[in-house]
Structure 1
């Protein structure tokens, strides 16, 4: 049962406003101060909070070094090439609750609350992340073209007296792309353990066709959301299997599938006016990588940022091309990234030859082989070590592989 929190326990985001104040939500960071649209619900009494449905943390890039076997001093010939990053777990822990709207025109609408800890528990970084996610969504939703269906929709938010920031998003799905891949890999394991490949060849072929269709639709929706963000001068900077929400993971329902991007806490505004001067705390790592790659001017920094998102999308593409088609435990995101980056130094052709020799990876290889190797071609473009040679999001959407899997 949903429980309405006591009215005196809650405040809307921004401590200067009372729960019943008609004033809009404001962020509390001086460098990214932005008013939200009046349509957002800022009254805590308009929500009911339900059960805890999960929690997760963020990964931080803590240092930077050269590619394996190289020095940390970069020559001009190294600019724009791959760099190794040391990644550690961040201190900010996010909680998720279900709930619903109880008042106004959206009454009855199911929501998911994303809860950022207050400064006491999460430090200034937690407040900055909440403010940044709030700003990102309000700017992307403030469009004459309407809200993109491939982004989660922010409905409103409030703040508790202990400083926790509660952002309310419309609930359009409870599964992530990571959940989908896990379920499908488990099914592959069960099918092969039961002799499915031998005795149900026709059924196996139909299953593979449905999986290819579903994964291609998932990739299309993800790239539409990313292209929408890039067209509006926003980077995602957290794209991965857990940051794409699905309204279904039933492959027979692929025609109704709508992937939606979430987790915009590290989103970066790349309007030229924001690329001059000191970077914000949350984007320091991005611009440090940009300068290492030789991107110093606002134009080059913008190009690097867009290419950085495409690289993350390329790793996500590789994840979806392998994990759902392989037995459980055969391949995971981290192992696949190490295989691509460290073992084969982003040589996708060599990666294919390696995978071709492993029977457990053959369905993934065949998927990427569609369209005379169109999948491998697209993957190589998105993971090009030189950021200047990576395609734009719309170019990825227009690539022939994005249609061959649904024909």
Structure 2
């Protein structure tokens, strides 16, 4: 299905549903690192933002459908067009049917640019009457039109879960604990499948976080119906279009062939996803507010700076905290296979020996015994 070019009159905006602060991968050195020649990869918030709206496409017609409008401001236009290009490449160059039911990415229907009429007094008056609490968009803003697939993400699941009284006395019933284990592993497996799909077309995400993974349900008793989709491709890159600086960065890390350079960037996505999984585990299996609020930067400091990728020491540390017992128990499953799974995701980029593999790393991770379960 070819992407469509819409016009503003095709839509009725219902409400603002969010604003996104866009994160960008940067390379920098922690001032306290022992080896100043080894930069740490992290993310920093950018000054760019986009607004998200719930809207109706073709209102009051037989074709009426709910959509998500993603408005990119002028300062973020390059990011918006980059996101759009990911879907164009999949459709136009690879012939991917992005409208199919099992498409593992968010579904982009098309786009439009805000016309000059958005600057007229008539438009401003009508906008303020309909949405008085929102500043009107300006001419030139880019609107991407996505199919409405809800607002639940891995990030919002963790928040919703922690508002419940599930951790009364810090103990699960065995049945509820096993249900949560199955649920978390299913999210992990489906997330890897989404990333595997993207990587199979030689595209890397580069800004993957818990908000990048859409969930169709947050009910743990519906694990069989759970679906995960990957979204937010503003910083994505095609490996065939890497600039000289990106290639040089990979070479400096030990990647000396085209395959190795590709694997270097695949490993970067996998590392980011590994921290998402670690955050999901900490939020799902502890009621300690310290663990619940430990985002990417906090987990990165814990793993890389405090314990320097020594997961045996990290396990010993967590065992001393009563509120972290279920975290350890979950990762101890399969004779410690959970620790192996998480460790391999987080250290992969530091292992140049992996760079020359021909098989996608995401495919290998899906086969880890930790994720195998009859319930999945």
TM-score (norm 1): 0.76
Which residues of 2 match residues 150-189 of structure 1 at below 5 A?
150-161=104-115, 162-187=139-164
Q: Does 1:306 align with 2:266?
A: yes
Shift of 1:136: 0.5
After superposition, what is the alpha-carbon deviation per residue over 1:44-64, rounded to whole angstroms, capped at 9, x for unaligned?
Answer: 333322211110212334552
Question: What's the CA shift for 1:342?
Answer: 0.9
Match of 1:355 in 2: 318
**Equivalent residue, structure 1, for 2:47:** 91
Asked if the contact 1:113/1:169 (under 8 Å) is kept, the reply is yes
Q: Distance between the aligned counterparts of 1:131 and 1:354, measured in 2?
A: 45
State the match for 1:52 in structure 2. Answer: 16
Moved more, 56-65 or 174-183: 56-65
Number of aligned pairs? Answer: 339
Q: CA–CA distance in 2 between the matches of 1:216 and 1:108?
A: 36
Query: 2:12 touches 2:59 (CA, 8 Å); kept in 1?
Result: no
Structure 2: how far apart are the matches of 1:240 and 1:387?
A: 24
Aligned to 1:137: 87
Deviation at 1:100, TM superposition (A): 2.2
- For the residue of structure 2 that corresponds to 1:383, the secondary structure is helix
Q: Decide whether the 8 Å contact of 1:150 with 1:222 is kept in 2.
A: no
Equivalent-residue separation in structure 1 for 2:39 and 2:304 (angstroms)? 9
Q: Secondary structure at the match of 1:168?
A: strand
The offset of 1:288, in angstroms, is 5.8
Kindly state the Cα deviation for residue 264 of structure 1 after the two structures are TM-superposed. Answer: 0.4
| 1:12 corresponding residue in structure 2 | none
The 1:367–1:140 alpha-carbon spacing in structure 2 relative to 1, beyond 3 Å, is farther
What per-residue deviation string (whole Å, max 9, x for no partner) do you get for residues 251-280 of structure 1?
111211111111100111013xx24xx45x
1:15-71 CA-partner distances (Å, limit 9, x unpaired): xxxxxxxxxxxxxxxxxxxxxx64424343333222111102123345523781113
TM-score for the superposition, normalised by structure 2: 0.82
Counterparts in 2 of 1:205 and 1:247: CA distance versus 1, 3 Å: same
* Equivalent residue in structure 2 for 1:146, among 97, 111, 116: 97
Q: State how far apart, in whole Å, the 2-side matches of 1:356 and 1:196 are.
A: 14
Using the alignment, how far apart are the partners of 2:339 and 2:62 within structure 1?
45
Name the residue aligned to 1:11.
none
Which SS does the other structure have where 1:295 is aligned? coil
Q: 2:145 and 2:311 mapped to 1: Cα distance?
A: 41
- Asked whether the equivalents of residues 157 and 167 of structure 1 are also in contact (C-alpha less than 8 Å), the reply is yes
SS at match of 1:342: helix
Partner Cα separation in structure 1 for residue 351 and residue 216 of structure 2: 35
Q: Determine whether 1:71 maps to 2:71.
A: no
Q: Provide Cα deviations, 1:361-384, integer angstroms capped at 9, x if missing partner.
A: 111111111121111111111112
Alignment partner, residue 192 of structure 2: 223
Maintained 8 Å contact 1:306/1:392: yes
Q: Counterpart in 2 of 1:17?
A: none
Cα distance 1:88–1:186, how it changes in 2: closer, same or farther (>3 A)?
same
Alignment match, 1:102: 58
Match of 1:379? 342
1:291 Cα deviation after fit = 3.9
Question: Residue 165 of structure 1: CA displacement?
Answer: 0.6
Q: Give unpaired runs (5+ residues) of structure 2.
A: 116-138
- Residue 389 of structure 1 deviates from its aligned partner by 3.2
Instruction: Decide whether the 8 Å contact of 2:24 with 2:235 is kept in 1.
Output: no
Instruction: Note closer, same or farther for the CA distance 1:239–1:62 as it changes in structure 2 (3 Å cut).
Output: closer
Q: Is the 8 A contact 2:285 2:327 kept in 1?
A: yes
- 1:265-305 deviation per Cα after TM superposition (whole angstroms, max 9, x unaligned): 0111013xx24xx45xxxx5x55642431335433321211
CA contact (8 A) 1:185 1:326 kept: no
Q: Secondary structure at the match of 1:300?
A: helix
The change in CA–CA distance for 1:68 and 1:106 in structure 2 (over 3 A counts) is farther
Give the superposed CA RMSD.
2.6
